[in-house]
Amino acid sequence: GAVVSQHPSRVICKSGTSVKIECRSLDFQATTMFWYRQFPKQSLMLMATSNEGSKATYEQGVEKDKFLINHASLTLSTLTVTSAHPEDSSFYICSANTGTGTDTQYFGPGTRLTVL
C-alpha cells in the first residue's frame, strides 16, 4: 500500500515553456500533498504544501506565480513550472500522506526537469 506515482519521470523543455508534473496517490486518499525540490547532492527543500480544494501554502522564497500548484482531488496534485528557465532545472519530488496513523509521507519517484 501507500504508493505514489509521479509523471513524467524526465522532461526536457525549451526556455520559456511551461511544464506540468502530476502526482497521484494510487491506493489511498491524500489529505495533504507536498512538493519538494532537490539539487544534486543536497537534501530535499519543501516548496509548498497543498490540501485538496484549497490554495497551496508556499514556503518562503518560493514564487507562487512561477510554481503553480493545483490539488484538484484527494488523489491528484499538479505542479506547473511556468515560463521555465535553465535555473529551474532540478529534481522535483512529491509526497502524500493520509493524515492518519503516523502521518508518514510517501514519496513519488520524482521528475528530472532540464530546461535548455
Using the minimum distance from each CB to other proteins, give the nearer residue, 34 or 67.
34
Distance between alpha carbon 5 and the CA centroid of its chain, in Å?
11
Q: How far apart are CA 108 and CA 72, in angstroms?
A: 17
Kindly tell me which residue out of 32, 50, 75, 90 binds other proteins, with binding defined by CB under 8 A. Answer: 32
Q: Which stretch binds other proteins (CB under 8 A): 15-23, 61-69, 73-81, 90-98?
A: 90-98
Using the minimum distance from each CB to other proteins, give the nearer residue, 46 or 76.
46
Kindly tell me which residue out of 17, 18, 29, 42 binds other proteins, with binding defined by CB under 8 A. Answer: 42
Radius of gyration of the chain (CA): 13
Q: Please check whether residue 48 is in contact with residue 114, taking contact to mean a CB–CB distance below 8 angstroms.
A: no
Regarding 91 and contact with other proteins (CB under 8 A), the answer is yes
Regarding 58 and contact with other proteins (CB under 8 A), the answer is no
Q: Which stretch binds other proteins (CB under 8 A): 11-19, 61-69, 70-78, 104-112?
A: 104-112
57: nearest Cα among 25, 84, 34:
34
What are the DSSP calls for 38-83, one per residue? E-TTS-EEEEEEEETTSPPEEPTT--TTTEEEEEEETTEEEEEE-S
Q: Which positions touch other proteins (CB under 8 A)?
A: 2, 32, 34, 38, 42-44, 46, 49, 91, 93, 95, 97, 99-110, 112
